Amino acid sequence: MNSSPLGIICHGGAGTIDDKAAYAAGLTEAIDEGYRLLRQSASAMEAVVTAVRMMEDNPLYNAGTGSDLTIDWQTEMDASLMTQEGRFGGVAGIAGVKNPILVAQKVMTETDHLLLCGFGATEFARRMGFEDYNVVTERALARLREVIDHGSKYFHKMNEQRLSDGVPPTPETGEDPLIEKKMGTVGAVARDKHGNLAVATSSGGIVGRMRGRVGDAAILGAGTYAGPGGAVSCTGHGEEIMRRSLARDIVERMTTMPASTAMTLAVAEARRKKLAFGAIGFDARGGICYGHTTPDMAYGYKVAERLFLFTEEKGKPH
């Protein structure tokens, strides 16, 4: 029997968070439920899927019901989950379902594939019995309107400029324009009573992106990764997270150092490169970690009956 504690850590996105109390309340519900399941001998996978599903159902977060929109007012969601022994399931650019993480779970358990995208993913969801669901929140509409009205500061304009200049993205130069934005992807990493780890991530994507764009939340090694060293879920600027396989990068570091050191090093490197990024994780020994380069990240965890929330954070980001 493994003696290190069971526990769960969740995030509700990196960026700048104004309504911290509301984000903390949503996290508390998801963490408490995930923890309750773990205490009742549920697997780490069940705990992370439940926690992420609850946050997908909370319109505050940019995942599931609260998903942000593409530049042409479409909902396209990404989600994935992974267990430490290498089982993975993901969906990319899925529409018309309430809980992308549950479809990702079905991809893992019911198919020979790792990742389904777009129409094929929705069609698979229907076959698995997921009902049609197409809610767009007022908040998501307002956020896209804001991007359209003040476009030059944001994602699609940034890409337009890169294309028209013929300049490849060079995140080493200049501030990431997303650093001040609230992103709001959700994620969870859990450790069950047997010491097994699992991770799940779900995102409505970055507001105002091109249609068809896939973010890190769907991608093995980028937004979601679990391996012998540990398990990590990321949030932030998906293109940069994918370019560097950041979740995998942190888990690999965990094979030779504690989770918190691995995270501190990854965050310091991301900060030097001015990337908008945040992550949470567990290492194989039960060490917990979190970190972000953005002004805020909504996160919280529960270990040994003690709930800790980002609103209790003192001083500088970890």
Interacting residues toward ligand ASP by CB under 6 A: 13, 62, 183-185, 203, 205-206, 215-217, 223, 235-238
Helix, strand or coil for residue 117? strand
The catalytic site residues sit at 185
Closest approach of ligand ASP to the CB of residue 204, in Å:
7
CA–CA distance, 13 with 169 (Å, rounded to integer): 23
Closest approach of ligand ASP to the CB of residue 113, in Å:
21
Closest CA to 223 of 308, 115, 107: 115
Q: Closest CB to ligand ASP among 50 and 62? A: 62
Closest approach of ligand ASP to the CB of residue 68, in Å:
8
List the beta bridge partners of residue 116. Answer: 91
Helix, strand or coil for residue 263? helix
Closest CA to 99 of 50, 136, 163: 50
Q: Closest CB to ligand ASP among 275 and 303? A: 275
Q: Closest CB to ligand ASP among 99 and 203? A: 203
Q: Closest CB to ligand ASP among 286 and 291? A: 291
**What distance separates the 2 farthest-apart alpha carbons in the chain?**
59
Q: Is the Cα dihedral 146, 27, 121, 281 positive or negative?
A: positive
Closest approach of ligand ASP to the CB of residue 62, in Å:
5
Closest approach of ligand ASP to the CB of residue 225, in Å:
14
Q: Closest CB to ligand ASP among 64 and 184? A: 184
Cβ neighbours of residue 230 closer than 8 Å, sequence gap 6 or more: 84, 197, 250, 251, 254, 259, 262, 281, 282, 283, 284, 287
Q: Closest CB to ligand ASP among 47 and 77? A: 77
Long-range contacts of 163-171 (CB under 8 A, 24+ apart): 169/239, 171/240, 171/243, 171/273, 171/274, 171/275
Place of tokens 């909370």: 58
The number of beta carbons lying within 10 Å of the beta carbon of residue 102 is 22
166 half-sphere exposure, CB direction, 13 A CA radius: 0
86 half-sphere exposure, CB direction, 13 A CA radius: 1
Closest approach of ligand ASP to the CB of residue 276, in Å:
8
